Structure 1
Amino acid sequence: MDSGNLSWYLVATALVLLMTPGVAFFYGGLVRAKSVVSMMMMSFGAMGIVAVLWILYGFSMQNVSTGWVGFVGDPFADFGLAGLASGASSNVDLVGVAFGATFAIITVALISGAIADRAKFGAWMAFVALFVTFDYFLVAGWVWNPNGWIATLGTHLGLSANVIDYAGGTAVHINAGSAALALALVLGKRVGFSKHINKPHNVPLVLLGAGLLWFGWFGFNGGAAATGGGIAASGSPIGLITINTLGATAAAILGWLLVERFTGRKPTAVGAASGAVAGLVAITPACANLTPGWALLLGLVAGIVCAKAIELKYLLRIDDSLDVVGVHLVGGLLGTLYLGLFATGTGLLVGGNADQLIVQAIAAISVMAFSFGVSWVIGWSIQKTMGFRIRSEDELAGVDTVVHGESGYEFPDGTVGSGPIPIIPAVAAAPAAPAEPVEPAVPAADRVLS
């Protein structure tokens, strides 16, 4: 890899890492003021534990050619990356390891939104360690390792197409969304769960988070283009990835706002931010395999479908606090299956062959079922042992002070509220006493002469 491609690989790694603080801001603005620290700490906690485990054994586990081929790699094949670090191509290899770690981190951070306001931090950290070990490290190898069973699914089935998931529709979004659904069921509903239980306490934080996510997503979708022939090579997908990441996201904003407008609501900033994320999710697996026009249509559809999907939690009485299922699971499924219809050259409606749709559907359903099952078992086990959910009285008092001993905002009276500081009317002053008569001043010259 030449210096230009290596530089882009490094920049893309930093961009994807920045997306997790973006998730923290996005989620932090959506919760109550007395839950914002807890919400953001769940993302930062994931950054700590996932990166360490990825370096120790996660990268080895996703290398499925070293263990049970096609399913899981040997976690001790290069424990701590000692061998990789001393290899002749260690510079490029280790940047690739770091790039992969950022995907693992944000996948876990996304899950946290489903259990906002009611999870113990220690239990969350235990879930993170177990989830990446028994779920993400395996699924990443299935999807992106050349020997993974999902990557080679079409070949093994004798079909003309293999699964397309350029940047993580299955491994990241369907995976995270399914895990979020499982945890929402395990932890149950928040106290007083209803359609208007809580409003976002800080809309600017939500917009900041969405902006950071969109910014970082260009590295998320385009970073891998540095490998192989590189970003400047003939046939490189980097230009297509860039325009599709821009266009699908923009179209999804419009789609979400249209739903708000035509359902009698006002167009909201939170809706625009949520639409942007829905578009980013949907284009993730498809960014290198759609022409720009089909990408725009995907974004528009994603904005509309995800805006409607988040309403299902009230119908089904499932408290997915920040709509991880409605945006990431639904958006990931939409983007993955859309490729079966419109992938350039192989999609059913542009290539005339159903093979692409078949393998996309098998991959999506398999990851969804596996992730839900593993996450439910882990979450249930934690709940029954150390306890995953905080007490109801602590939930009402505020997760930040109970779990972390700090608050996101300090108000003059020492309390944390969900709205503006109340304006205290000024106390009317007592009438002033009549002024004493004052003798006129005597000119200085007269004072001297007197």
Structure 2
Amino acid sequence: MRTIDLRGRELTRGDLLKLVPRAALSADDAVARVRPLVADVAARGEAALREQAESFDGVTGHALRVPVDAIRDSLADCPPEVEQALTELIARLRRGAAAQVPAEQVTRMSDGATITQRWQPVTRVGLYAPGGKAAYPSSVIMNAVSAQVAGVPGLALASPAQRDNAGLPHPAVLWAAALCGIEEVYAIGGAGAIAAFAHGVPEIGLDPVDVVTGPGNVFVAAAKRVVSGLCGIDSEAGTTEIMIIADASADARFVAADLISQAEHDEAAASVLVTTSVELAERVSAEVTGRVSRTRHAERAQTALAGPQSAVILVDSLAVAATLSNAYGPEHLEIQTAIDDEVLAQITDAGAIFVGSYTPVSLGDYLAGSNHVLPTGGTARFASGLGAHTFLRPQQIVRYDRDTLKTLEAPLLALAGAEGLPAHGEAVSARFESEA
């Protein structure tokens, strides 16, 4: 991992935005590459999806819509300990997601005048689960359970076709779908899946959705940007990233293990350590070198750690570290310092925050009860992670009786006149013409 030394420098937020490490592939580049793929699916539907499956997944002749029996029967091959773990994840996530559903509230403006604030779920969502370098049954659950807790009646799931599973999605994805009760599943991957959700594919019974959610690589994130406006999206959740703020009190073994845990996702994954301690930086670098060679996906992780998106950053203080983190807007932020809560109080921009030496990001990936579908690439500065709230829309229900409306006729007429919209006022006055 390269080292960036920011000590002794007075840097503005704009400076930090330019200095923080990012992947070389920009979102604009990815958008240019996926826009024709999305347009092709919109124009040619199933034919385009099959061509893309052959080109990107090496699969031909498979059923794009997975038979319901194949989903249900997949559980027969699920190891008991995995099924138990997935079931535990579902239960814990349901508890966490339930706290994200606001209760209906009624505001009484006066006698005979109320505004009811309710949160209404969308009708149909498209859930995406990656299937390239790893299987993500946990992502299926993160998406599905959040939508179910929100009360969404229609759920469709898409995940790439696998050559070694007869063109079906990865078996673990099917296990998660079965445990969540999802029966509308498609063997479609990448930008094509996002396009299919947004535009619909009548030939395979896929109706358009209201919202598309789920993680993926930079091309999935770019496809979401392309279809945004045609349907809603959760966020541009692209390649994963972790930032760790640590001081001399941190355990270098823990920090190194956590950096590697996210680097194994993808060659473009970002692992960033921000520290005030040169000694810790040196110990972590040594630990990373020793540990990464022993991990299963060593080559992939080494590529990610050596890439421009990963670095060890030296700063003068933890306050500067917090400012740097807010400029970066990390998907995952860990705080491992002697004053965790003081640092936490300065953090405003992060997808999810993991506080303390015994709260690794991988806990959030699986069993913390939090959601691991989070904004990446700096979008945490203005976007939130996925949750039940992603599938809810606030709606205001207004009820006024006759007498209360009458008391507001004069000021409403004044406002309508000031804005040059007299018919607005006349719509109120019309209700009292018989009195005149």
User: Which TM class, normalised by the smaller chain length?
Assistant: under 0.3
The structure with the larger Rg is 1
Give the structure-1-normalised TM-score.
0.23
Name the structure where strand makes up a greater proportion of residues: 2
Give the structure-2-normalised TM-score.
0.24
